[in-house]
Amino acid sequence: MPINYLKKIQLGEFNEDGYRISPSKEVESIIEGFYVFSRDPENNTHLIFNDGFPVLVFLQSREDTVVVTGEGDAFEIKAAWASAGSIKNVYVKYNNHTDQVFIVRFYPSAFYQLFGLNAQYFRYHPVTSFEYIAKNNNFSIEEFFECNSVEEKAAFVGSYVQCSFTGIDTPGILDKTLDYIHKIKGKSTVRNVINDVGVNYKWLERSFAQHIGLLPKEYIQLQRFIHAYLDLVGLGDVDLMRIAISNGYYDANHFLKDFKAYTGKTPLEYLKFLVQPEEQHQTN
């Protein structure tokens, strides 16, 4: 999802322009939450990032579009998109009609089971139109956009999930491992996670690939990066060594390498982009 919205979710910064709707008890093991965010009218372009939780992002109307730009590639998506996996140097630009987005954030294994997808589905296309997935799973995008209120949209998705989901087969120890990685904010190595949780590496790698769509190392990197990112943009602090060490990186170069991979920019370039997003994005 756009990282500026993910930042608010991670920090729990909610208000009338961005808030969370809790899923019903019947679907709370599948849907982590529903979110509504108002778009900043002065900023049309945002970095896309995923912290391990697949999302569906619905635009304000069936006809609204965004342009997704990756390395040497740009394409248009209409109405809604799905994103998951490790997303690197991908930006989304809204058209001028979208003022608000509706986001459904899923637990990873449940998402893939719900839509009958292989967990590797997003590995090479981490941001994709939801239309094809919806069509193959009897999710009516047309009916969704006939809902007039946010509450109706959440109820529509919740009802669809209740009727379509057949059950979760994620191993309990995998859930325990994910919870542990979140608790330590990715400040660890795969070896240490294995030792701390008490699992076999081959089993863990196979389980992550099957249920999460990422390698354990990739998942840990996502958690570590998002918290380092929050430090950088939240404090406006460009002490890269401090940010790196406090978030589990070996050194500043390790953090810088990850930052450029995920954003396509150095930390200083990215902070400048946040101040002058349109101008900076067009020159890159």
Indicate if 191 and 111 belong to the same structural domain.
Answer: no
In terms of C-beta density within 10 A (0-12 exposed, 13-18 middle, 19 or more buried), how is residue 157 classed?
buried
Indicate if 156 and 187 belong to the same structural domain.
Answer: no
CATH classification at residue 107: 2.60.120
Percent of the chain with pLDDT over 90: 81
In terms of C-beta density within 10 A (0-12 exposed, 13-18 middle, 19 or more buried), how is residue 91 classed?
buried
Model-level pTM? 0.93
Indicate if 117 and 68 belong to the same structural domain.
Answer: yes
Give the integer Cα–Cα distance in Å for 195 and 275.
43
| Domain stop point among 101, 134, 164 | 164
Q: Give the DSSP H/E element, type plus range, for residue 220.
A: helix 216-235
Indicate if 182 and 276 belong to the same structural domain.
Answer: yes
50 with 1: CB under 8 angstroms?
A: yes
Q: Which domain holds residue 147?
A: 3-164
pLDDT in tens, the chain (284 residues): 999 999 999 999 999 999 999 999 999 999 999 999 998 777 889 999 999 999 999 999 999 999 999 877 899 999 999 999 999 999 999 987 788 999 999 999 999 999 999 999 999 889 999 999 999 999 999 999 999 999 999 999 999 999 998 877 788 899 999 999 999 999 999 999 999 988 899 999 999 999 999 999 999 999 999 999 999 998 766 789 999 999 999 999 999 999 999 999 999 999 999 887 555 444 44
Q: Specify the number of domains making up the chain.
A: 2
